A and B are shown apart, each in its own frame.
Chain A
Amino acid sequence: MRVVFLIMLASTLFAMLPGFLGLSGQATAHHILGRPAYNLNEDSNTPPSMQAEVQVGQYQMTYMIYPAFPQPGEGARVSLYIIGIDDGVPYDGKVAFTIREMPWASFLGDDGHEDHLGTQPPDDKVYRQGFTVPEAGDYLVTARFEGNGEPYVVDFPLRVGIPPLLGPFAYVGAGVLLLLIVIAVVRRRQAITAKIRTAQSSQSAQR
């Protein structure tokens, strides 16, 4: 019995020896804070900055961006998970990713310049596309694939860099408000005079 115990102790110490000597390979964390490791970028243990779920045609898509706040000039990744709505079976074809900056005049039909990011096969049922964007801004990532003979083109938003505290509409709104207030204060007397003149001319026209 004592011999068996000594053999087990020796085996354990022997197994631990490489670790003590610093010879072991780098351990890969399986979970970080309870989140499955496959969800996370190796360089980032943060949750995604955006997670969007959409249903298009026969597929349901989950779209995520890592790390939480992609920075200009630094690597980031889009993960796309596609399953059939009816059967829940993951899509296994290839998905092409493109990116384009969203111009401020996008609502006027200006789609901006599009860059091809890559075409990805599924990696553990998830389509992962790395990218590096040099400038901060609002972008659109487009995923294209073919399912059951039909083309699918789906746009997803992407914010790179810290968003400004105030957007262009806020500046326009604040500017208009300021203009109105300045005119109301500085040109108050002229505005009243104008109202009186308009009323008088309106009355004389009625006569």
Chain B
Amino acid sequence: MTPQRSFSISRHLNKLRWLSLSLVFAMLIALPCLHVYQTYVAAHAYDLIAPSEKQFYDVMEALTSPLTNDPATDLDAVKGNTWSGNFWGLKLSDPLAAVGQAAAGMTLYWPFLLTALIPIVVTAFFGRIFCGWICPANFLYELNSNLAAWLQLIGLKTGMRRFDRRIKYVVLAVGLGLSILSGSIMVAAIYPPAIIGRELYYAIAQGGFGVGMVFFAATLLFDFFVSRRGFCRYLCPGGALYSLLGRYRLVRIQRQVQTCNDCQKCNAVCEFELDPWHDGFGQECTNCAACIAICPTDALTFNLRLVDLAPQGPGHLGRQYRREHEHLDRDVDEAAA
């Protein structure tokens, strides 16, 4: 019989994160639907549209009627996607969008740059929280990763190659350099959350996917057959920027060595192959809380620190520590005798 652990909210943060990822993904599907419905309403087009579109109209009308009496106007309140959007008057942009725009335009257009301020401040506090909690591509990448893990369990091999994490900083630098040279935000073309936002809009509002979906499918295959979570770990330019911005994040996960039993499950479930067992979170940690959720002894918690703790050695509940300290205790006893 396994002992019951007391309820701890931090252990359930990973579920909350999945809820957040699901809601963001659902929002990216809902927004183009709302936009299409809004267009139909504004054009008084009900009698002109095809029967299947009428069904769509009716469903959207039923969903939105409790919220608004004037969808043609009121649905303007929410527009955009995670790349850049307007949410009830609050304009938010991905920091990569701001940096990319500044590079492509070779100017600092403050009204747009300021829309990235809140995400930058949040990243300075919480690190790559966008990657772990919001990124719609991460939602799909993690599902893909789970599928790969399950297939491994039934005997199929999937990609586990490792590369240098610094490649993504090169990708970011090259992308921004090309943006400067071309005058176009090149990083947006290979940035999965921006691609997902665009492609979902194309698919729903314009009836077909664009070439971006081919690229995104290629990244999923890369993750599946070459390197688990390879795109986020090694290639994503946004991940590189968030890692830099979150290098000195205030909120970070910390291991309590006194309650660690060295089971290493935290290392196993970390999607970014970090090393929580040796206190190695670094700037790549997304604060996803998967390691906290899996820890059987609640040895991982959130803490307020600007840097990670130095490696604390083996966990005090682990065999290695006990063995070493039994030796020490015995030596001390023998010396005393």
Which of A69, A192, A200 has a CB less than 8 Å from the CB of B264?
A: A200
CB–CB A184/B146 < 8 A: yes
CB–CB A200/B50 < 8 A: no
Residues on the A chain within 8 Å of B173, using CB = none
CB–CB B152/A198 < 8 A: yes
Asked if A198 meets B146 with Cβ closer than 8 Å, knowing A162-B51, A162-B52, A191-B153, the reply is no
B269 within 8 A of A: yes
Asked if A191 meets B149 with Cβ closer than 8 Å, knowing A167-B207, A180-B143, the reply is yes
Asked if A190 meets B264 with Cβ closer than 8 Å, knowing A167-B208, A180-B147, A184-B143, the reply is no
A164 within 8 A of B: yes
Q: How far is the CA of A177 from the CA of B153 in the complex (A)?
A: 21
Q: How many residues of A contact B (CB 8 A)?
A: 30
Which of B50, B142, B152 has a CB less than 8 Å from the CB of A163?
A: B50
B265 within 8 A of A: yes
A194 within 8 A of B: yes
A12 within 8 A of B: no
B285-312 CB contact bits vs A (8 Å, 1 = yes)? 0000000001000000000000000000
Asked if A199 meets B268 with Cβ closer than 8 Å, knowing A167-B207, A191-B153, A193-B153, the reply is yes
Q: How far is the CA of A128 from the CA of B49 in the complex (A)?
A: 27
Q: How large is the interface on B (under 10, 10 to 19, 20 to 34, 35 or more residues)?
A: 20 to 34
Residues on the B chain within 8 Å of A181, using CB = 143
Q: How far is the CA of A196 from the CA of B149 in the complex (A)?
A: 9
Q: List residues 205-252 of chain B with CB under 8 A from any CB of chain A.
A: 207-209
CB–CB A202/B160 < 8 A: yes
Q: How far is the CA of A163 from the CA of B265 in the complex (A)?
A: 51
CB–CB B146/A191 < 8 A: yes
A20 within 8 A of B: no
Residues on the A chain within 8 Å of B52, using CB = 162-165
B320 within 8 A of A: no
B331 within 8 A of A: no
Residues on the B chain within 8 Å of A193, using CB = 153
Residues on the B chain within 8 Å of A169, using CB = 203, 208-209
B76-102 CB contact bits vs A (8 Å, 1 = yes)? 000000000000000000000000000
Q: List residues 24-65 of chain B with CB under 8 A from any CB of chain A.
A: 50-53, 55-56
Secondary structure call for the A interface: helix
A8 within 8 A of B: no
CB–CB A180/B140 < 8 A: yes
B267 within 8 A of A: yes
Which of B51, B146, B160, B207 has a CB less than 8 Å from the CB of A188?
A: B146
Residues on the A chain within 8 Å of B152, using CB = 194, 197-198
CB–CB B150/A191 < 8 A: yes
A35 within 8 A of B: no
B144 within 8 A of A: yes
A157-181 CB contact bits vs B (8 Å, 1 = yes)? 0000011110101100100010111
Q: How far is the CA of A179 from the CA of B140 in the complex (A)?
A: 11
Q: How far is the CA of A162 from the CA of B294 in the complex (A)?
A: 51
Q: How far is the CA of A196 from the CA of B295 in the complex (A)?
A: 12
Which of B55, B143, B146, B150 has a CB less than 8 Å from the CB of A165?
A: B55
Asked if A195 meets B269 with Cβ closer than 8 Å, knowing A183-B150, A187-B146, the reply is yes
Closest Cβ–Cβ distance, residue A180 to chain B (whole Å): 4
Which residue on A lies nearest to B204, using beta carbons? A170
Which residue on A lies nearest to B50, using beta carbons? A162
Which of A163, A173, A195 has a CB less than 8 Å from the CB of B149?
A: A195
Which residue on A lies nearest to B152, using beta carbons? A194
Q: How far is the CA of A196 from the CA of B290 in the complex (A)?
A: 13
Closest Cβ–Cβ distance, residue B200 to chain A (whole Å): 10
Which residues in B have some Cβ–Cβ distance to A below 8 Å? 50-53, 55-56, 140, 142-144, 146-147, 149-150, 152-153, 160, 203, 207-209, 264-265, 267-269, 294
Apart from A184-B147, A190-B150, A198-B149, list 11 A-B contacts with CB within 8 A: A169-B203, A169-B208, A180-B144, A180-B146, A183-B143, A192-B294, A194-B150, A198-B152, A198-B160, A199-B264, A199-B267
22 contacts between A and B (CB under 8 A): A163-B50, A165-B53, A169-B203, A169-B209, A170-B203, A177-B140, A177-B143, A180-B144, A180-B146, A180-B147, A181-B143, A183-B150, A184-B142, A184-B143, A192-B149, A193-B153, A194-B149, A194-B153, A195-B268, A196-B265, A200-B264, A203-B264
Give 8 closest A-B pairs by Cβ, nearest first.
A199-B268, A180-B143, A194-B153, A165-B52, A194-B149, A196-B268, A191-B146, A191-B149
